[in-house]
Every structure is written in structure tokens, then in C-alpha cells.
Structure 1
Amino acid sequence: MYTTPDLVERGGANAYLRGCASRSALDLLANKWVCLVVGALSPGPMRFGALRRRLDGITQKMLTRTLRDLERAGVVERTVYPTTPPQVEYALTPLGESLCGLMDSILGWAEEHMEEVEAARARYDERVSLPVDPLPRDAPARR
């Protein structure tokens, strides 16, 4: 597997290649909770409880894991304030802020096209639930 500098020498990163390091960044961004956390943090820092209330349906475990993944990737910064009990706040880093436009576009697309997607799913589900008619015995074989 090549490192990023090796890939640059060979013409740059290519996420379509199995060994490309850019795939790990793509894996991170492909998570729906990542998209929603980045969107929720885009106006400014938030505490864990406020984030959890904002992200309806996320479990504490999933939010914790998502925030740790984002912190590890340099997208989110975690600040602990020396209070009793300690207060923890999460904020986007400059790298995380660079994702806001992309995530807004993805969320906007999902909201704009949700009815079309649901209608397509319903048509598909109806089509695959129909019994398959076998070919007549005298039908020519397809190649």
C-alpha cells in the first residue's frame, strides 16, 4: 500500500484503488451520523447532551464513537473544562469546517429528493414481490 506522498509521485490519490489511503477518509464521510454531527456543529461548539438531543435517534454509544472518530481524523476538537463535574464541548476544526458545504449539499439533496427515493423504493419492492413467470418451454434460449 502506498503512502500519500508515494501516491502524489504517481499522480495523486485514487479512492477507486483498494490500497489508497483516501479510502479511509471516504469511509469516515460515508457515515450518516458523521454527516449529521458535522451539520449540527456547523453553527458552533456544543456539549455532548445538546448534540444528543439535536440528533434524534442516535444512541449515546454511537455519538461517542462518531465523535471519537471525528476527533481522531482531525475534524472535531474536544475541549474539557475544569469544572465539577467536568464539562466537555465539541467544535469543528478548520478541517471540519471545510466539510460543512459538502455535508449541507448532501443533507439538502436528501431532503429535496426524499419523496422520489421513497416512490422508487415502493416501485422496486412491488416489482420484486411479484411472482416470476417461467419462460414457455418453446421460448428460444437467450445468450
Structure 2
Amino acid sequence: MKKIINNFEEQCAFQELLKVIGGKWSMSIIYVLFSGKKRFSELERTVPHINTRMLVKELKNLAEYKIITREVFATVPPTVEYSLTIKGKKLEPIINDFYNWGVDNLYDYPVK
């Protein structure tokens, strides 16, 4: 049976969730990080069609909400690695469900 969100607190929690993972690229970035730590350039290559500016913006947002961590190494040039926090890792079954739903349901339609 479907649960309908009719409680104000539940609606607010849903809106907050969308602020965290509702960005166009957020789930793709998180999905890539399920396989482990990645450097900025690896993320840029792995997330299709994202530009540098948007990647920086999404990474800052995810770090602000403590979904990812940003580790800076004192090298020349500086090396930065991104990884999921425990909170971020808890999103894995949810994002995998979204992915599987997409595979099962979205390929019935013509690609735009």
C-alpha cells in the first residue's frame, strides 16, 4: 500500500532530501563513488556530460551535507580525493533501486 506524505514534517524531510540528492548530477557522483575514492579528474571523466563548474558545485553541496568527504594532500600540484561518508554509503540501496527502476522502465520510450 502506498504511503501518502500528508504530514508537514514528512514533507519538509522530503524537500530537504531533494536539496541533498536532487541535483542533476548528485546521484551520478554518488553512484561513481560507491566503487571507492576518486580524484577530481577521475570524477570529471567518469560522470558523463558534466562540466567542471557543475562538478565543483555538486561536490561542495554533497560535502556540506556530509554525504562525501574531501581529502587534500600536500603535494604539488595539490591532490584531492573524494569519498563517501557513512551517511553517503547508506544511499547505495536507494540509488541502486532508482537505477534499476530506470533500466526496467525508461527504455520503453524513444530516446530524446
Q: TM-score, normalised by structure 2?
A: 0.84
Consecutive unaligned residues of structure 1, counting only runs of 5 or more, are: 1-10, 123-143
Which structure has more relative contact order (CA 8 Å, sep 6+)? It is: 2
Letter in 2 for 1:113: N
C-alpha distance in 1 between matches for 2:10 and 2:13: 9
Alignment equivalent of 1:94, drawn from 68, 74, 86? 86
SS in 2 for 1:89: strand
Q: TM-score, normalised by structure 1?
A: 0.67
Alignment equivalent of 1:13, drawn from 2, 9, 16? 9
What's the offset of the Cα at 1:25?
Answer: 2.2
C-alpha distance in 2 between matches for 1:21 and 1:55: 28
SS in 2 for 1:14: helix
C-alpha distance in 2 between matches for 1:115 and 1:83: 45
1:36 paired residue number = 28
Quote the sequence identity (%). 27
Query: Are residues 1:48 and 2:40 paired?
Result: yes
Letter in 1 for 2:23: N
C-alpha distance in 2 between matches for 1:64 and 1:25: 20
What's the offset of the Cα at 1:14?
Answer: 1.3
Q: CA RMSD in A?
A: 2.1
Alignment equivalent of 2:98, drawn from 103, 106, 111? 106
Q: Which runs of 4+ in 1 moved over 4 A?
A: none
2:4 paired residue number = none
SS in 2 for 1:57: coil
Per-residue CA deviations over 1:62-105 (Å, capped at 9, x if unaligned) read 11000000000010000000111110000000000001111111
Aligned residues: 106
1:130 paired residue number = none
